[in-house]
Amino acid sequence: MSWDLRRTIISFLCLFFKLHSFCNGEFEIKVPSAPLVAIHGHSTVLSCTFPVNGAFDLGSSVITWQRHLEVVHSFYHSRDQLDLQSRRYASRTSLYHSELERGNASLRLDRTTPEDAGEYTCAISTLTGSQKKSFPVKIAAFYTEPHLQVSTSPQSVELKLTSRGYPAPKVRWLDATGAELSNGTQTQLLTDTQGLYVVSSSLTQERGANSTLTFLLWNKDLHQEIRREFSLLAEAAIVLRDESRSALYALLPVAILTVLGILGIILFLKKSRCFPGPDSTATREENTSLKTAPQSSEQEQKLKNGATVLY
């Protein structure tokens, strides 16, 4: 077979089977083609593989992982070399040593935090070739079960939901028809000590009407949606409660007179030594009036699906 014919056949096979690295003598490493999303606090594997073609010499291979200019991990002379490793990555990185001869230079990164996000570069140099490639790493955390706080004032009722996650979420409130509510809503984003976001979103509505409201939170990196529905019921009971409170105020002078009268009798009985000890009638009276006039109008709870709020 002539040399030209052999070359033609090989080129054809190469084109047909796309055996690039073998045919062109190219040394092509592989890293993730899409951004890698790692979960905050967990381990993640930064994937990087290289061709070995049956000829791999560990001693003459150099593997370096970097984030921008920071050294994340390096390996040469057949072992991990961590002298130049950035302190941020200390005791958090490891290569799979038994996988190296198979061309797998993936790096495990433990206990990820939002600070680990960035462009990572895998650089490989072996006897058969060398190359480096980069890919972005994002850190994300699922938003937690929202915490609901309801506050009422004589004019309005406020729902406030708080949740924690990463990255910054998109938060919306919808009315019963599915239209977005922008009036009366307020969203605040804070950062906690771990670098995660604490989002608080509140919606204030005027009192007196029944309404159905939906809270929506979207975490784009994790495709996480939190949807919670609230039914605000302006019950007739509220009117009763207000009436009972004003009735209480009307009765207050009578109650005070009664208490004073009882105290007078107690004192009189004590003086005349016919009574054994202090009586708790007065205290009991106070407790009862405390119960009928609630001190706090705030309720708090964790949410699974939503809530019905009677106010």
Ligand X SMILES: *[C@@H]1O[C@H](CO)[C@@H](O)[C@H](O)[C@H]1NC(C)=O
* Comparison of 106 and 162: residue with beta carbon closer to ligand X: 106
**200: nearest Cα among 190, 210, 208:** 190
Shortest Å, Cβ 2 to ligand X: 40
Is residue 234 near ligand X by the rule CB under 6 A?
yes
Cα dihedral: 217, 221, 224, 230 (round 10): 0
DSSP readout, 211-224? EEEEEEEEETTTTE
Q: φ, ψ for residue 101 (rounded to 5)?
A: -65, -15
Give the integer Cα–Cα distance in Å for 178 and 176.
5
Binding mask 193-222 for ligand X (x = CB under 6 A): ----------------xx------------
Which of 74-82, 217-225, 232-240, 263-271 is the region at the interface with ligand X (rule: CB under 6 A)? 232-240
Shortest Å, Cβ 85 to ligand X: 20
Per CB under 6 A, the list member of 21, 106, 144, 214 interacting with ligand X is 106
Helix (H, G, I), strand (E, B) or coil at 162: strand
Which of 119-127, 233-241, 262-270, 296-304 is the region at the interface with ligand X (rule: CB under 6 A)? 233-241
Is residue 242 near ligand X by the rule CB under 6 A?
no
The residues in 120-179 that bind ligand X, with binding defined as CB under 6 A, are none
**282: nearest Cα among 306, 255, 304:** 255
Taken in order 96, 98, 102, 103, the sign of the CA dihedral is positive
Site for ligand X, rule CB under 6 A: 45, 47, 49, 96, 99, 104, 106, 183, 209-210, 233-234, 236
